[in-house]
Amino acid sequence: MINTVRLEIEGKELVLETGKMAKQANGSVYATYGGSAVLATACCGSKPVEGLDYVPLQVEYNEKYYAAGKIPGGFLKREGRPKDKEILVCRLIDRPMRPLFHKSFGREIQVVPTVVSSDQINPPDVIAMIASFAAVSISDIPFEGPVGAVRVCYLDGKYVINPTFEQMKDSDLDIIVSGSEEGITMVEGGAKEVSEELMLGAIDKARVVIDSICKMQKELVAKCGLKKLPLTESTIVIENRDDIHADVYPKMEVACFVLGKFVRHAAIKSVITEAREKYCGDFTDDQKKLFDALMEEIEYTIVRKSILEKKVRTDGRGPEDIRKITCEIGILDRAHGSALFTRGETQSLGITTLGTVFDEQMVDDIDGDKRYNNFMLHYNFPPFSVGECGRMGTGRREIGHGHLAQRALAGVLPRKEDFPYTIRIVSEILESNGSSSMATVCSGTLSLLNAGVPIKKPVAGIAMGLITDKENTVVLSDILGEEDHLGDMDFKVCGTEEGITAFQMDIKISGVSSEIMTTALAQAKRGRMHILGIMNETISKPNETVSEFAPRIISLSIPEDKIGAVIGQGGKTIKTLSERFGVSINIEQDGTTTVSGKNSKAAEDALAAIKGLVEDPEIGSIYTGTVKRIVDFGAFVEFLPGKEGLCHISRLSRARINKVSEVLEMNQEIPVKIIEIDRMGRINLSYIDAKEDLEKKNT
């Protein structure tokens, strides 16, 4: 039986349908909004695994090229490994859902949202989020939903709900908000230096729509929702649990406040090891798991109680204190820009590399035509950064953290027309104890300034935390890794002195109030200003010149009707210019031309040659030409590709010469000056005049 629910959002109808497609899944929902559609399925394993201390959830968002009437590029002509964009959407779906599953369910859960139709007007990511939440809600998988999601932009002084791709391009704010009827659970997005008040207004606007989407899902559940599968009720107990708790608690209370990450972890491990040897001799494997859970519960209680009651954190700081920060720049000799940012026990080495237009990244997806990105940020988190051995590689975490940092910095970069370089930042996390993505934003900013990139303003980032119970709430600035693990919120804010540029919030409880968010944003702003102040003491403005090891890029705009003259038949002219001057030349459809070379002289000489091609030769202009023919009365010199002039023998030297070969030889490059253009367009050149003019200029 087919069941459908509908909701109008900003003049467009959101439709959720089930019972027609993918009926063998535990839950499936076909969602449409405008001309975009997503089929989301939810399945779970057939048997529970007892003793799991995590939720084994997989989200596999995927976009099919046929959705937009396209065929994938490449040799195989089929969709392959997930693109970065698909991984980022997986994270958007996963994070609001994960806290709402029960660990005691114990079964593998897989949610697969598939984009099957894209009108290239309405972004499918939010539709996929709603479809996924609804598929789980109507399934027999235990889930504390429903959850809703909405995108909010700020355009022309107004909030826009679920904007189109075109509206997103011009907006000052672009965030995705998820939440339940109890409150907001996730926010992620970027902005163009907006105020905290504007951000809060967008979240409040989203709340109203999220409530409607949750009610819509409840309506669908009422029509066709399945009875939930039972949770795995464990019968395993530790009989002397109270004795263990009483013995371990005071020892753990001391260990949790030892200063220094590794020293503290060693102290905690020592307490646990002692208790394990004392109590776990006859325990089964399942009882040992319960023992480990008890140890974590004790640490959880001690750390949170100290923060809530004493306002003291495990490293001795108060709630708003920020760890010691040091900044260094220019530490890598050959890198175009480099910086080392250290905050407490978190350290990021940021490296900026400047490239040419040929280094741009081509992006091909279902959103529209192929496009090229001239800014990339890559985040690496090697296992040695936390003192461990492990596999090297790029996972979903690395992609997500890198995307957040890239979003934070993208808004302050110069326009391509003003700074025609391709920019790549790499963040190598060398140490980590909380908020390495925010350290990446800071090291990235410093390395950009060191590289001479004329960014609008420096950007800093800070991670906030939250500890709350029914009576007290404490917002934490610059959280440690353990505060992230044991706390109720991970809240990252990036921005300049003027406003927010990127924002990410994950809530581990049912929701947070507007009052808490207001407090957190105000505290984050104070922390951001503190960090920016320290960064500005190291470098506050970009270096005046780019590195000597960076390519030299010069740009100009040529008339569109002259593009053909520069390219030449079959690309002969542009190839000749590139080889002659040792440069790379790129011409856009609108006539924007960039010339990149290993040094300034090569780029400038090539640029002068291009100008000569698109400009009519004028008397008095000087060019570097090549001797093509030698005759008795002079030499014919090609001063621009396809353009020659005669340099009479009398214009080769102030002294009398009998033969041209006394001064010139074939294929010799010489400076020439246009001294005459006759009525028939023939051009007369002078070698000696050009030579003398250049000598005067150099002296």
pLDDT tens for residues 403-448?
A: 999 999 999 999 988 898 999 999 999 999 988 999 999 999 999 9
Same domain, 120 and 56: yes
Same domain, 141 and 13: yes
| Distance of alpha carbon 106 from alpha carbon 608, whole angstroms | 70
| Distance of alpha carbon 107 from alpha carbon 688, whole angstroms | 87
Instruction: Report residue 38 as tokens.
Output: 């997503």
Same domain, 300 and 155: no
| Distance of alpha carbon 162 from alpha carbon 175, whole angstroms | 10
Going by C-alpha positions, the residue among 411, 420, 376, 369 that lies closest to residue 554 is 420
**Domain range for residue 644?**
617-699
In a domain, 545, yes or no: no
Q: How does the average pLDDT of the chain come out, rounded?
A: 90
Same domain, 214 and 144: yes
CATH classification of the domain holding 600? 3.30.1370.10
Q: Are 437 and 490 in contact (CB under 8 A)?
A: no
Average pLDDT over residues 328-344: 95
| Distance of alpha carbon 215 from alpha carbon 218, whole angstroms | 5
pLDDT at residue 13 tops 90 = yes
pLDDT at residue 510 tops 70 = no
Same domain, 509 and 606: no
464 beta partners:
477, 491
Same domain, 201 and 288: no
Between strands 148-155 and 173-180, the pairing is antiparallel
In the listed set 161, 194, 224, which residue is the last one of a domain according to the structure? Answer: 224
CB neighbours (10 Å) of residue 53? 10
CB neighbours (10 Å) of residue 37? 23
Going by C-alpha positions, the residue among 361, 369, 363, 362 that lies closest to residue 68 is 369
Quote the pLDDT of residue 666.
92
The listed range with the strongest mean pLDDT (62-66, 514-518, 583-587, 595-599) is: 62-66
| Distance of alpha carbon 92 from alpha carbon 97, whole angstroms | 9
Going by C-alpha positions, the residue among 464, 413, 513, 436 that lies closest to residue 190 is 413
What is the strand order of the sheet 583-587 is part of? 552-557, 592-597, 583-587
Q: Are 549 and 499 in contact (CB under 8 A)?
A: no
In a domain, 355, yes or no: yes
Identify the DSSP state of 266: H
> What string of DSSP letters covers 376-418?
EEEEE--GGGGT-----S--HHHHHHHHHHHHHHHTTSPPTTT
CATH classification of the domain holding 632? 2.40.50.140
Between strands 683-686 and 643-648, the pairing is parallel
Tokens 């390395």 locate to 447
User: Please, is 66 exposed, middle or buried when counting C-beta atoms within 10 Å of its C-beta (0-12, 13-18, 19+)?
Assistant: middle
In the listed set 538, 569, 587, which residue is the last one of a domain according to the structure? Answer: 538
* pLDDT confidence tier of residue 374, bands split at 50, 70 and 90: very high
Same domain, 584 and 559: yes
pLDDT tens for residues 86-121?
A: 999 999 999 999 989 988 898 999 999 999 999 999
Going by C-alpha positions, the residue among 143, 149, 145 that lies closest to residue 38 is 149
CATH classification of the domain holding 404? 3.30.230.70
Within 239-311, residue ranges assigned H as helices are: 241-255, 261-279, 285-305
Rounded (5°) CA angle 246-248-252: 125
Same domain, 559 and 512: no
> Which of 3-17, 197-211, 229-243 has the weakest average pLDDT?
229-243
The listed range with the strongest mean pLDDT (277-286, 449-458, 627-636, 678-687) is: 449-458
Provide the sign of the torsion angle of the four alpha carbons 360, 364, 368, 370, taken in this order: positive
Q: Which long-range contacts (CB under 8 A, 24 or more apart) does 533-537 make?
A: 534/325, 534/327, 535/327, 535/341, 535/442, 535/445, 535/446, 535/458, 535/460, 536/458, 537/327
Average pLDDT over residues 165-176: 93
Angle (deg, nearest 10), helices 241-255 and 285-305:
50
> What string of DSSP letters covers 593-643?
EEEEESSHHHHHHHHHHHHHHHS---TT-EEEEEEEEEETTEEEEEEETTE
| Distance of alpha carbon 609 from alpha carbon 607, whole angstroms | 5
Per the structure, the count of domains in the chain is 5
Quote the pLDDT of residue 166.
92
Q: How far is CA 304 from CA 34, 49, 96, 268, in A?
A: 47, 30, 23, 16
9 beta partners:
12
Quote the pLDDT of residue 497.
95
In a domain, 320, yes or no: no
Same domain, 111 and 210: yes
Same domain, 78 and 209: yes
In a domain, 105, yes or no: yes
CB neighbours (10 Å) of residue 6? 12
| Distance of alpha carbon 504 from alpha carbon 462, whole angstroms | 11
In the listed set 590, 615, 640, which residue is the last one of a domain according to the structure? Answer: 615
Could you tell me what percent of the chain has a pLDDT over 70? 99
Quote the pLDDT of residue 641.
67
In a domain, 229, yes or no: no
pLDDT tens for residues 244-257?
A: 899 999 999 999 99
CB neighbours (10 Å) of residue 337? 28
In a domain, 401, yes or no: yes
Dihedral of CA atoms 510, 512, 476, 412 in degrees, nearest 10, equals: 110
Helix (H) or strand (E) holding 17: strand 12-18
Same domain, 591 and 689: no
In a domain, 543, yes or no: no
Average pLDDT over residues 605-609: 80
CB neighbours (10 Å) of residue 191? 26
Same domain, 24 and 73: yes
Q: Are 653 and 646 in contact (CB under 8 A)?
A: no
In a domain, 235, yes or no: no
pLDDT at residue 356 tops 70 = yes
* pLDDT confidence tier of residue 511, bands split at 50, 70 and 90: low
Average pLDDT over residues 326-334: 95
223 alpha-carbon distance from chain centroid: 41
| Distance of alpha carbon 281 from alpha carbon 640, whole angstroms | 89
88 alpha-carbon distance from chain centroid: 10
